[in-house]
């Protein structure tokens, strides 16, 4: 039996290529027009890549950016029309890959660069690899002058990466803390300021990170009221007694600086003034596995 040209055309029409939106396909650039490029992905009609979908970056010369005959992967963003043509995107494929990268960074607790693009309620917005993210004010190192951050590149960690909700939450403080943890050591004396006071202790900010001065580590004697001893912004010198790199926790102590139980409660300014000398003595008694 002969197989005519018409028979071949009908066979093509009956063939189901299963091209679906969201599918990643490989194709070669087959030609151009003023609005984009035609890409051969093995269908009965060449697929179309609109110019605005060529890249996250602005493309002025599509022929230079995508040479004819070059093969690469594309994302289908619109299924076949009446002519059997699908619409492709490289830009959205890059965004999809960027989201995957954000999730990997979050899982591995790695940092990246994000450029601040604007001020939002409760923090700043930032652009990172084509994705718009949000940095809460509480997760910025400099929280006082947000306007000064616009246009700046910040090193950040990923708090939340949810591609389904298109929600990317970043933290400059966690990134700074990760860097600082590598420079800190148990037995080191640090100087900072009281950032917040909780019923269980005091959070102290120093060198771009935060440590906890637990109520049990303030003095060898019972501490009845933290608010009588500390106030927000008050300078504090304390010894690092524990570091947890995985949980990014730093435990501090001032009771190891006391010459006698209760001295922090009675003569705190004197203990702080002599902290360096007292720290030398305290280091000798620090158990590297923790302190009671």
pLDDT of residue 225: 92
**Considering only 43-52, 177-186, 271-280, which range has the smallest mean pLDDT?**
177-186
Same domain flag for 192 and 238: yes
Which tokens in the block code for residue 98? 């960027």
**Considering only 1-15, 62-76, 106-120, which range has the smallest mean pLDDT?**
1-15
Same domain flag for 30 and 112: no
pLDDT of residue 285: 67
Q: pTM score, two decimals?
A: 0.57
Does residue 6 lie within any of the structural domains?
Answer: no
Does residue 45 have a pLDDT over 70?
yes
pLDDT of residue 179: 66
Same domain flag for 79 and 34: yes
Same domain flag for 267 and 200: yes
Region of residue 246 (phi > 0: left; psi between -120 and 50: alpha; otherwise: beta): alpha
pLDDT of residue 288: 41
Which tokens in the block code for residue 83? 């002519």
More confident of the two residues 130 and 100: 100
Does residue 2 lie within any of the structural domains?
Answer: no
More confident of the two residues 6 and 159: 159
What number is the average pLDDT over the span 102-124? 90
Does residue 46 lie within any of the structural domains?
Answer: yes
Tokens 């690469």 sit at which residue?
72
Per DSSP, the residues of 134-200 read: EEEGGG-S--S-GGGGTT-EEEEEEEEEETTTTEEEEEHHHHHHHHHHTT--TT-EEEEEEEEEETT
Eight-class DSSP state of 44: S
pLDDT of residue 5: 58
**Considering only 221-225, 244-248, 258-262, which range has the smallest mean pLDDT?**
244-248
- Here the CATH number for the domain that contains residue 124 is 2.40.50.140
Give the chain's mean pLDDT: 87
pLDDT of residue 194: 94
Does residue 13 lie within any of the structural domains?
Answer: no
Same domain flag for 189 and 277: yes
pLDDT of residue 71: 93
pLDDT of residue 130: 86
Same domain flag for 236 and 151: no
pLDDT of residue 6: 60
Same domain flag for 170 and 104: yes
What number is the average pLDDT over the span 183-210? 88
Does residue 67 lie within any of the structural domains?
Answer: yes
Domain boundary residue, one of 176, 193, 215: 176
Q: What is the C-alpha separation between 209 and 171, in angstroms, rounded?
A: 12
Does residue 252 have a pLDDT over 80?
yes
Percent of the chain with pLDDT over 90: 63
Q: Is 237 helix (H, G, I), strand (E, B) or coil?
A: strand
User: 154 burial class (0-12, 13-18, 19+ CB within 10 angstroms)?
Assistant: buried
Tokens 């965004």 sit at which residue?
95
More confident of the two residues 245 and 117: 117
Same domain flag for 158 and 190: no
Percent of the chain with pLDDT over 70: 89
Does residue 136 lie within any of the structural domains?
Answer: yes
Per residue in 102-112, pLDDT (tens digit) is 999 998 878 89
Strand 209-214 vs strand 249-253: parallel, antiparallel, or unpaired? Answer: parallel
Q: What is the C-alpha separation between 31 and 37, in angstroms, rounded?
A: 6
Same domain flag for 218 and 244: yes
pLDDT of residue 121: 82
What number is the average pLDDT over the span 268-275? 94
Helices (H), the chain: 5-14, 62-65, 91-108, 172-181, 226-229, 263-266, 268-273, 275-283
Same domain flag for 130 and 45: no
Number of domains in the chain: 3
Domain boundary residue, one of 89, 120, 138: 89
pLDDT of residue 141: 85
Per-residue b or e along 184-222, where b marks 16 or more CB atoms closer than 10 Å to that residue's CB? bebbebbebebeebeeebbbbbbeebbbbbbbebbbeee
Does residue 286 have a pLDDT over 70?
no
Residue numbers of the domain that contains 163:
99-176
Same domain flag for 207 and 279: yes
Does residue 16 have a pLDDT over 90?
no
């Amino acid at each position: 039996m002969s197989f005519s040209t018409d028979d071949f055309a009908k066979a093509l029409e009956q063939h189901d290529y299963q091209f679906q939106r969201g599918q990643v396909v490989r194709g070669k650039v087959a030609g151009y027009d003023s609005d984009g490029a035609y890409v051969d992905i093995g269908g009965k009609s060449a697929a179309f890549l609109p110019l605005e979908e060529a890249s996250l970056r602005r493309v002025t010369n599509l022929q230079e950016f995508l040479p004819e005959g070059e093969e690469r992967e594309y994302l289908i963003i619109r299924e076949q029309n009446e002519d059997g043509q699908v619409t492709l995107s490289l830009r959205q494929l890059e965004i999809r890959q960027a989201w995957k990268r954000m999730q990997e960074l979050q899982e591995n607790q790695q940092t990246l660069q994000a450029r601040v693009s604007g001020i939002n309620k409760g923090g700043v917005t930032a652009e990172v690899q084509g994705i718009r993210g949000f940095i809460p004010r509480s997760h910025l190192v400099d929280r006082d002058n947000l306007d000064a951050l616009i246009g700046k590149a910040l090193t950040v960690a990923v708090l939340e990466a949810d591609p389904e909700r298109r929600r990317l939450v970043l933290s400059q403080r966690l990134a700074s803390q990760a860097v600082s943890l590598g420079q800190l050591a148990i037995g080191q004396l640090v100087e900072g300021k009281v950032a917040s006071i909780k019923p269980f202790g005091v959070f102290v900010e120093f060198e771009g990170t935060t440590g906890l001065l637990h109520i049990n580590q303030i003095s060898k004697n019972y501490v009845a009221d933290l608010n009588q001893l500390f106030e927000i912004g008050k300078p504090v010198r304390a010894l690092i007694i524990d570091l947890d790199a995985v949980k990014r926790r730093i435990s501090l102590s001032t009771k190891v600086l006391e010459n006698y139980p209760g001295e922090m409660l009675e003569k705190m300014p004197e203990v702080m003034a002599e902290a360096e000398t007292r720290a030398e003595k305290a280091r000798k008694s620090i158990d590297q596995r923790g302190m009671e």
